[in-house]
């Protein structure tokens, strides 16, 4: 007889506690210390004996004895996800500047290339991030007909809404950049996105070709050029976007630092299978999946990045201390196009 379905805060931990060792035996790829460490920390989260704790007493009477366990801060822990999001929001809010126009650009990887990225994470994921920036710099330069460098916050996300492996980039990019020769800020009002689609295709495929030099990859790259004559998807998020720094960062957080699944989306676990739901990109409808526990664990653990890998990176003027020196130049240019918003950051939400 099957056990009654389990729901609640600890269901995610229970799934890993009962099946992690068996999962590793079936999938030796994950029998590595880096994965064990993250799972172990997640399972110990909330246990003061394992994680340590802080004890709080009342300053007035000295009574009371509240013990608060230290958090694990593991990327696998759904309980710590909210803390991570709050830290990211605070960090990014400080990097967004008044009067600067930003675009939230998403650069995707086509489905037939995702297995290649899954099998070569260490060789390709870092280059994916830097390649996205090089692509945008060249794209902006082609549009402006000047050699300009933009300002970027790049976040790597590896999961789709249903948890499957889907590496893509979320980039908060300035709408324009600094002219390398004149040291003047060039604002770009119109961006031809069909050109960006083709340019991103070239940068991504040549990066893969260079990073993995095999005949199989050579054939795969050539087939991608033939199969996608209009290039790869590169778009700007649609919909209303908040203006102020913190609200904007919180809006973006749901795209860029959310875990593969939230605890509220796990609908049941009976010891053998897991039920969860998600909103489909294609249908915009809520869909439900029931998968065996090993499939579920695999969909979660595959998004754990190599130790020391930086999921959030800063490039261009954004990454240097010189930005404060050129900020007034940017504001002056944008004031002429009547786009400066007092106390706010504007982000374009529709394609040109």
Mean per-residue pLDDT of the chain: 78
Least confident of 94-108, 115-129, 130-144, 151-165: 94-108
Per the CB < 8 A criterion, the answer to whether 269 and 275 are in contact is yes
Q: Taking phi first (over 0 means left), then psi (-120 to 50 degrees means alpha), and beta for anything else, what does residue 2 get?
A: beta
Across the range 315-331, mean pLDDT stands at 61
Within the chain, how many helices (H) and strands (E) appear?
A: 11, 14
244 by Cβ neighbours in 10 Å (0-12 / 13-18 / 19+) ranks as middle
Residue 205 has pLDDT above 50, yes or no: yes
Distances (CA, A) of 226 to 168, 171, 193, 195, 230: 21, 27, 20, 17, 10
What pLDDT sits at residue 38?
86
**For the segment 232-283, what is each residue's pLDDT rounded down to a tens digit?**
876 655 444 444 445 556 656 665 556 788 778 889 999 999 999 988 877 7
Measured CA to CA, the distance from residue 22 to residue 201 in angstroms comes to: 40
User: Is residue 343 over pLDDT 50?
Assistant: no
Query: How is the chain split among helix, strand and coil, in percent rounded to 5?
Result: 45, 20, 35
CA distances from 135 to 131, 171, 179, 221, 298 (A): 6, 12, 16, 18, 32
Residue of 314, 311, 310 lying closest to 322 (CA atoms) = 314
HSE of 163 in the Cβ direction (CA atoms, 13 Å)? 25
Strand partners, 69: 53
Ordered by where they begin, the domains of the chain are 27-69 (no CATH), 78-258+310-348 (3.40.1310), 261-302 (no CATH)
| Alpha carbon separation from 300 to 28, 30, 142, 155 (Å, rounded) | 16, 12, 40, 18
184: CB partners within 8 A, 6+ apart = 178, 329, 333
What is the pLDDT, as a whole number, of residue 330?
61
Write down the pLDDT at residue 117. Answer: 95
């Amino acid at each position: 007889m099957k056990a009654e379905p389990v729901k609640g805060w600890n269901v995610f931990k229970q799934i890993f506690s009962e099946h992690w060792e068996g999962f590793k035996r079936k999938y030796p790829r994950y029998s590595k210390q880096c994965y064990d460490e993250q799972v172990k920390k997640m399972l110990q989260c909330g246990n003061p004996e394992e994680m340590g704790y802080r004890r709080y007493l009342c300053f007035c009477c000295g009574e009371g004895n509240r013990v608060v366990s230290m958090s694990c801060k593991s990327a696998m822990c759904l309980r710590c996800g909210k803390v991570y999001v709050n830290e990211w929001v605070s960090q990014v809010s400080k990097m967004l500047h008044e009067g600067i126009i930003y675009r939230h650009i998403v650069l995707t990887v086509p489905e037939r290339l995702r297995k290649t990225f899954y099998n070569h994470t260490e060789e390709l994921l870092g280059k994916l991030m830097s390649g996205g920036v090089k692509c945008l710099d060249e794209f902006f330069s082609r549009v402006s007909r000047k050699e300009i460098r933009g300002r970027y916050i790049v976040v790597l996300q590896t999961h789709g809404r249903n948890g499957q492996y889907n590496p893509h980039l979320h980039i908060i990019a300035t709408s324009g950049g600094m002219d390398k020769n004149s040291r003047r800020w060039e604002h770009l009002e119109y961006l031809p996105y069909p050109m960006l689609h083709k340019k991103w295709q070239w940068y991504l495929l040549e990066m893969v070709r260079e990073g993995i030099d095999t005949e199989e990859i050579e054939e795969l790259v050539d087939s991608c050029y033939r199969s996608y004559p209009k290039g790869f998807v590169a778009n700007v998020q649609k919909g209303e976007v908040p203006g102020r720094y913190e609200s904007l960062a919180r809006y973006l957080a749901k795209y860029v630092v959310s875990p593969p699944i939230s605890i509220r989306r796990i609908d049941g676990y009976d010891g053998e299978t897991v039920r969860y739901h998600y909103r489909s990109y294609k249908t915009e409808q809520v869909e439900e999946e029931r998968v065996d526990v090993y499939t579920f664990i695999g969909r979660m653990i595959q998004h754990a990045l190599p130790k020391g890998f930086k999921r959030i990176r800063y490039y261009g003027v954004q990454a240097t201390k010189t930005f404060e020196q050129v900020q007034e130049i940017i504001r002056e240019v944008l004031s002429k196009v009547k786009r400066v918003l007092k106390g706010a950051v504007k982000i374009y939400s529709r394609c040109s």
